[in-house]
Amino acid sequence: MLKQVKIRLQGVILPLAIILIWQLVSNYGMVNSYILPSPHHIYFRCIQLIENGSLQQNILASLIRVVIGFLTALLLSIPLGIILGLNQRVKLLLNPILSFFQQIPGIALIPIFILWLGIDETSKIAIIVYSAIFPILLNTINGIETTDKNLIEVAIINGISKVGLAYRVYLPSMLPSLFVGMRLGLSYCWRSLVAVELLGASKGLGYLIQQGRELAQPETMFLGVFIIGLIGMSFDNVSKGFEKKIIRFKSNDYKED
Amino acid sequence: MLKQVKIRLQGVILPLAIILIWQLVSNYGMVNSYILPSPHHIYFRCIQLIENGSLQQNILASLIRVVIGFLTALLLSIPLGIILGLNQRVKLLLNPILSFFQQIPGIALIPIFILWLGIDETSKIAIIVYSAIFPILLNTINGIETTDKNLIEVAIINGISKVGLAYRVYLPSMLPSLFVGMRLGLSYCWRSLVAVELLGASKGLGYLIQQGRELAQPETMFLGVFIIGLIGMSFDNVSKGFEKKIIRFKSNDYKED
Amino acid sequence: SSSQQQTPALPKTINASYVSRPINVPSIVAQDKKMFETEFAKDNIEFKWHDLTTPDSQLEALASGSLDFANSLNNLSAILAKANGNDIKVISAYSAFPKGIALVAGSTAGISNEADLKGKKIGLQSGTMLYQMLIEDLAKSNLKKNDITIVNMDSSSALTALLSGQIDATILPDPLLSKAIASGKATKIRSAEGLISGLSVIAVRSDFAKNYPNLVKQFLQIHKQSLDWSTNNLDQALQLAATKNQMDIKAVKRMYPEFSFAMSMDNAKVDLIQSAEFLKEEGMISSDTDTTNLINDLIDTSFMPQ
Amino acid sequence: MSLLEIHNVCKNFKIGNESVSVLNDLTLTVNKGELVCLLGVSGCGKTTFLRLISGLEKQTSGTILINGTQYKIRNRTVNMVFQEPRLFPWLSVQDNIIFGLKRNDHSKAKNLKVTEIINKLGLSPYIHEMPYKLSGGIAQRVALARAIVTEPELLLLDEPFSSLDSITKNSIMEDLLDLWKSANMTIIHVTHNLDEAIMLAQKIIVLKYRNNSTECFDIMNLSYPRNPESDYFKELKSKVFNSY
Amino acid sequence: MSLLEIHNVCKNFKIGNESVSVLNDLTLTVNKGELVCLLGVSGCGKTTFLRLISGLEKQTSGTILINGTQYKIRNRTVNMVFQEPRLFPWLSVQDNIIFGLKRNDHSKAKNLKVTEIINKLGLSPYIHEMPYKLSGGIAQRVALARAIVTEPELLLLDEPFSSLDSITKNSIMEDLLDLWKSANMTIIHVTHNLDEAIMLAQKIIVLKYRNNSTECFDIMNLSYPRNPESDYFKELKSKVFNSY
Ligand SMILES: Nc1ncnc2c1ncn2[C@@H]1O[C@H](COP(=O)(O)OP(=O)(O)OP(=O)(O)O)[C@@H](O)[C@H]1O
Ligand SMILES: Nc1ncnc2c1ncn2[C@@H]1O[C@H](COP(=O)(O)OP(=O)(O)OP(=O)(O)O)[C@@H](O)[C@H]1O
Ligand SMILES: [Mg+2]
Ligand SMILES: [Mg+2]
């Protein structure tokens, strides 16, 4: 128990140290406060926005978008990844087109999204989905392809159906890869928020960041950044914790002193 | 040989079909050419820009940036990934901060990059590096962590040094994961170009896309998109081919009819 | 340091931003003719251009010292920056093109004048000159912000949204404006003339201006030269602009008359104070700002060529 | 009645660019309910042979019939214990063992049977452990249990006792014989241990190394339990040994 | 002179929240140049014992000394053949075999020796193949070769012949004896096969299941090759068997 706490504490040391130095350096005017406002100013801004209630609204708006976008990305990319990982023909057919779209900047897709999906939430979700889908897809495929063939043979000889194979062998075996994909995908969801909320949003953390930049209010921008970083980090940690719970089968390994 | 060709052909069918339908639909005025120009128009624009030499320059400028940025990302993230994958203490220390930065939109870092790195190439490379680093890092860590402990024991008992362990056991074993990370990282390099080349570039494919947007020349924008897609796809294919060559040890697997 | 009368040694390099779009002829010409490079080379100063198109990056680069001059900075951004502690001086006008900015409506939106905007969906980026124009325009027809729906998006997206019928109206600058009208799916309601100045300016770091007043003067002098050259060689200048921006020469020729590149700041102070008041009303700068003081501190016309 | 018919089966593997023949023109019949032991030197193709029967590998030519028809894998008629334990690392011992049971087949009777098998194989102390904690011999027994609980018509065993000490092995062999008799299973048991074959088999088949021939020793008539120290067996042993 | 000294060694494993004792107060000495066979029922702790000696696992209490000092892993004094082949899937058979050789140790003499070992283990046809193409027995021999070529002072063998047929095994056992004599190696050989132990060992140690005792049978004096059919051996065999 105590050890757990100690370990947690270690991770906090570095961030705290950085913030402290940052504040000190700001106090002595060693950084340009127009570009890098002091933590104290950011905190002050935070309190301000909480008091007028707008921060909460911004967070909520983004949170909903990210959650919906991320879940949609999961729903699309995991089955697709399984199909591509298992079926060589489909893979050959779709590979070039996927490989092409993998490279396209999200901003370049905006006109198409507007044309087809309008300027409401659908388009925004689409951009989020697009940002998250490839890490999940590629890691799913990798998870499938690196599944131990020997175990698949065992499952097949035991009469497991294709669906059973997918969720009783491939799924548990690809979990580590899948989690990497999900964690990456989720963080690209957060990252995409600025671009997303340039498109017809009047609320959200990305909007806050963009507004902060345009209105030359760096503390607003950094507040947005901080909150995205913190929420994203929490999600990331939850997912890591989840991963640890699920993937129980890692063996004890040799430890050197 | 013939089979190879046939397989390649299959992959081309779908993209060709899409382009054909797109052209037909455009011919009949079924899409708004101010939003979605016809392939023919894009091609025409392409010829124009090749003839005045500007396309080549744009491609070259972006190519150099992406290559340098990607290589820098590799050089940073693979060793870091190996260290984090192997050393639990360092991981605990750095995890929160990495997890935090993983979520931050690149655009929010631009002021800081400008402050510290100026507005020349360094800042642009930094944005590219930032876009690519996390997929490589996380997949490297995953590759390290999923390396078969049994093989590591064999290596240790055979007196392999830590460095030897890294490049004779971990490296080959994590190659599939590493390649996923690299392919993702590379494509995020390409994706980042628009944001990158908003920052003081007068050449590049991202610049071209942005120009197309600002001057309401959709065919210029789509040309940029196409070229990014095609070059990125070629890189992706080269990397896939490379991967196949290197990872020879995949076993034959059971094929169902 | 003001007590020390010796001027600091000349800088090794001068960094300036330029924006070539939509048709910023002076910058394009100056760049093409290497006017600044040649002139400053005489003092062994290297002159470097940076294509920074977004005002945010320009201002951040000014604040961090990576940039000494910013060309074609829109007046609202300059005011916002100044109000938030980015110490810059506006030393000259760069351009103004109120004629090249207009309110357009989708042809099926049923809007023929400002009064029809009531209850409509209008897409534009808040906090910009375009937004300023909208507010001024609404005020003229006794409408308020709440009478319409503003959808926040950049102009490029707004054009797409307008053409695909997702919004009823928007305010576009050229060349997006002419594209919209040429498509036949949008009609022009009115231009920005008489509503806003549409002014963009040349700004310098205050630091730099204080240390090297002569260089600042020289800078504007060269800028003026580029303007003179353009006027004297108009066809050539427009051709350069067309090539630089990959545009049709006809489009450039059609747009050029909408632009004024006059450096004069005679009316600028009034315009800037009006803009600052607007920002204050919109809550974008602090409500206790003394706008006149702010603008007085921002503008410095002492470097203007005679 | 024959359960398994193998006619002129060949199996080549591609090694580099060459095609190397591992099994060549093999013909063989196994009757329903028979317990066959398959012997042969290391690398002669025993595992390959089992994989062909199970359908995991396709023969290069020839036909393999189970119950007179071509076997469709996933049919649960055949199960196999592989040469390596191949346990699912994410499942506990218990979940590994019941992996092959149909989901709707968790009746009480079935559960009792599974428990009985677990007990007989000495696995009850380990049922909640994860595979990486198991010793080699325990893991092997878990793999054996996993195949047995599905009660296949044809059970293929690829050296299932290789990691077991003689005491454990003898007790398990007895249990296997019991099960074989009661469940009316057909078993093909690959082993490299002559004594094991003689203790168990009704028929001993020796597969020759990269060659088209097999030799078959019929000891169907002999009753169990057998005494490998008897003169008959010693003679048989040396006969089999010489036929390698 | 003793090479290996084990004093009051205990090893507990955590299973769930319980700490289960696998080895309890074990004390043992192995002399330089000795060939010891270690027997014991499945799951009694033989593998754990070897892992403790090799340094891959740390004892819960007690001391293990090699050449009088605590052994530092990576020192190349000890090598081990694991119970599973554990071949590197990305290396050919040849590269697997020379994996443990120091990079600067590719002298001609060394190469000759490696080739000799490859030939003796019957691996020459397979040297360019990848591990997944190998049969169980061949893979096991590759693992054996990999350990032998490094010529460790102390060689730990964990059931190295479990997947081999008797012919192959007998020939390899002879080769191992030759090597042992010529290279002055010390060998601890875990096996579950009594005959094997009697054919090879100078000392047979029986490890008791979850218990603190071992039983030791000294047959140092007997010369090789041995005849397991002799009366002495039969007697010894049953003695050892009864001590399990
Ligand atoms: N997938 C494969 N590709 C190429 N060669 C293979 C493949 N599988 C097996 N072989 C070869 O076929 C031969 C027979 O292999 P098999 O595994 O059937 O032998 P075995 O009789 O089971 O041997 P052991 O007793 O050692 O397990 C071996 O030489 C092996 O190298
Ligand atoms: N990492 C571990 N965690 C928990 N228990 C373990 C672990 N490793 C081994 N054990 C337990 O310790 C006991 C001894 O295991 P060990 O592998 O040493 O047996 P063994 O004598 O080699 O058996 P076998 O002949 O079957 O290989 C077994 O009950 C096993 O379950
Ligand atoms: Mg085999
Ligand atoms: Mg063991």
Beta-carbon-side half-sphere exposure of residue C242 (alpha carbons within 13 Å): 15
Angle at D46 between CA D45 and CA D48, to 5 degrees: 65
What's the token pair of residue B233? 């796809």
pLDDT at B250 over 70: no
Separation of B36 CA from ligand 2 center, angstroms? 67
Round to whole Å and give the CA distance between A57 and A202.
10
Q: Which residues of E fall within a CB distance of 8 Å from A256? A: 73
pLDDT over threshold 80, residue B186: yes
What is the strand order of the sheet C46-50 is part of? C46-50, C13-17, C69-74, C199-205, C88-96
C-beta atoms surrounding D167 within 10 Å: 14
Asked whether residue A252 carries a pLDDT value surpassing 60, the answer given is no
pLDDT of residue B256: 46
**How many domains does one find in chain B?**
1
- D59 C-alpha to ligand 3 centroid (Å): 17
What's the gap in Å between the CA of E117 and the closest CA on chain A? Answer: 30
Q: How confident is the model at residue D199 (pLDDT cuts 50, 70, 90)?
A: confident
Dihedral-angle region of residue E91 (phi above 0 means left; psi in -120 to 50 means alpha; beta otherwise): beta
The D residues from 222 to 241 touching E (CB cutoff 8 Å) are 241
Q: What 3-state DSSP class applies to D244?
A: coil
Q: What confidence tens digit (pLDDT) does each residue in D155-171 have?
A: 999 999 999 988 889 89
Best to test chain C binding among B119, B198, B207 (most C CBs inside 10 Å): B119
CA of E14 to the centre of ligand 4 (A): 18
- Mean pLDDT, residues E17-29: 87
Residue D174 tokens read as 């007895």
Question: Could you give the count of Cα atoms lying within 13 Å of B41 in the half-sphere of its Cβ?
Answer: 18
Nearest CA to ligand 1 atom 23: D43
Arithmetic mean of pLDDT, C163-184: 90
Question: In which domain, by residue range, is D238 found?
Answer: 2-242
* Closest approach atom of ligand 2 to CA E49: 18
Q: Domain count for chain E, please give it.
A: 1
Neighboring chain B residues of C183 at a CB cutoff of 8 Å: 32, 34
Ligand 2 mean position to D134 CA, how many Å?
Answer: 5
CB spacing of A156 vs D99 below 8 angstroms: no
Evaluate if residue B128 carries a pLDDT over 80: yes
Mark yes or no for CB contact A231/B142 under 8 Å: no
B174 is in which domain, residue-wise? Answer: 42-256
What is the rounded end-to-end Cα distance, in angstroms, of chain B? 23
Question: Residue A1: its pLDDT value, please?
Answer: 54
Q: Which two tokens stand for residue A166?
A: 């997918």
Rounded mean pLDDT, E9-29 = 86
The percentage of chain C sitting over the pLDDT mark of 70, rounded to a whole number, equals 97
Task: Name residues contacting ligand 2 (CB within 6 A).
Answer: A 252; D 133-138, 163; E 13, 15, 22, 40, 42-48, 83
- Nearest residue on chain B to E88, judged by CA atoms? B151
Min Cα distance E142 → chain B (Å) is 13
CATH code for the domain in which residue D184 is found: 3.40.50.300
Q: What's the pLDDT score for residue B249?
A: 58
| D126 Cα to the center of ligand 2, angstroms | 11
Q: Does C185 touch chain A (CB under 8 A)?
A: no
Q: Is the CB of E135 under 6 A from ligand 1?
A: yes
Residue C46's SS3 state is: strand
- Label residue A256 by pLDDT band (50, 70, 90): very low
Would the CA dihedral through C1, C6, C9, C14 be positive or negative? positive
Q: Which of residues 122-161 of B touch A (CB under 8 A)?
A: 134-135, 138-139, 141-142, 145-146, 149, 152-153, 156
Task: Taking residues D183-211, report their average pLDDT.
Answer: 87
Q: How confident is the model over C168-193, as a mean pLDDT?
A: 90
Contact assessment for residue B225 and residue B211, using Cβ atoms and an 8 Å cutoff: no
Task: Decide which of E15 and E145 is more confident.
Answer: E145
CA dihedral C172, C176, C180, C186 (to 10 degrees): 0
Is C226 strand, coil or helix? helix
pLDDT 10s digits, E182-203:
888 999 999 988 888 888 889 9
> How much of chain A, in percent, has pLDDT values that exceed 70?
94
Does the pLDDT of residue C233 top 90, yes or no?
Answer: yes
**Pocket of ligand 2, candidates A250, A252, A253, A255: which has the most ligand atoms within 8 Å of its Cβ, to mutate?**
A252
- φ, ψ of residue C173 to 5 degrees: the values are -90, 160
Three-state secondary structure string covering A81-139: HHHHHHCHHHHHHHHHHHHHHCCCCHHHHHHHHHHHHCCCHHHHHHHHHHHHHHHHHHH
E136 CB near ligand 1 (under 6 Å): yes
Q: Is D42 in the pocket of ligand 1 (CB under 6 A)?
A: yes
Instruction: Return the pLDDT at B251.
Output: 52
CB D88 within 8 A of CB D99: yes
Q: Quick one: tokens of A210?
A: 């963009």
| pLDDT tens column, E102-148 | 877 667 778 888 999 999 999 999 999 999 999 999 999 999 999 99
Note whether D19 contacts E: Cβ–Cβ < 8 A. Answer: no
Residue A127 lies in a domain: yes
pLDDT, tens digit, 9 for 90 and up, residues C98-146: 998 999 998 887 888 888 888 889 999 888 899 999 998 988 888 888 8
The per-residue pLDDT for A249 is 58
| Nearest Cα to Cα of residue A73 among A25, A15, A138, A120 | A138
Asked if the structure places residue B238 within a domain, the reply is yes
**pLDDT of res. C159:** 92
Count of beta carbons in the 10 Å neighbourhood of residue E58: 12
Q: What band does C1 get if pLDDT is binned at 50, 70 and 90?
A: very low
Report, as an integer, the average pLDDT of C174-202: 89
Res B1: pLDDT = 53
| Residues of A with Cβ-Cβ distance to C126 under 8 angstroms | 202
Tally the residues of chain E.
244
Q: Tell me whether the omega of the peptide bond preceding residue D225 falls within 30 degrees of 0, making it cis.
A: yes
pTM of the model: 0.92
pLDDT digit string, tens, across residues A162-202: 889 998 999 999 999 999 999 999 999 999 999 899 888 88
Share of chain E above pLDDT 70, in %: 96
Give the mutation target among D9, D10, D13, D81 for probing the ligand 1 site: most ligand atoms within 8 A of CB.
D13
Asked if C189 and C103 touch (Cβ cutoff 8 Å), the reply is: yes
Q: What is the pLDDT of residues C50-74, one digit of tens each?
A: 988 888 889 999 999 999 999 999 9
CB contact under 8 A, B114 and C64: yes
pLDDT of residue B248: 61
Confidence check: pLDDT of C3 > 80? no
Ligand 1 centroid to B120 CA: how many Å?
61
Which residue from E15, E135, E159 is facing D163, i.e. has the nearest CB?
A: E159
What's A237's domain CATH number? 1.10.3720.10
| Cβ-based contacts under 8 A for chains D and E | 91
D14-73 residues touching B, CB cutoff 8 A: 56-57, 73
* Closest CA of chain D from A97, distance in Å: 33
Distance from CA of B192 to the nearest CA of C (A): 16
User: From CA B152, how far away is CA A144, in angstroms rounded?
Assistant: 23
User: Which value does ipTM take for this structure?
Assistant: 0.91
E73 interaction partners in chain A (CB closer than 8 Å): 256
Residue D19 has pLDDT above 90, yes or no: no
Residue D79 in contact with ligand 1 by CB distance below 6 A:
no
D82-137 per-position pLDDT tens digit:
999 999 999 999 999 999 988 776 677 788 889 999 999 999 999 999 999 999 99
Q: Do A115 and B146 touch (CB under 8 A)?
A: no
Query: For ligand 2, what atom is nearest to the CA of residue D136?
Result: 27
Predicted pLDDT of residue B214: 86
Whether chain A has a CB inside 8 Å of the CB on D241: the answer is: no
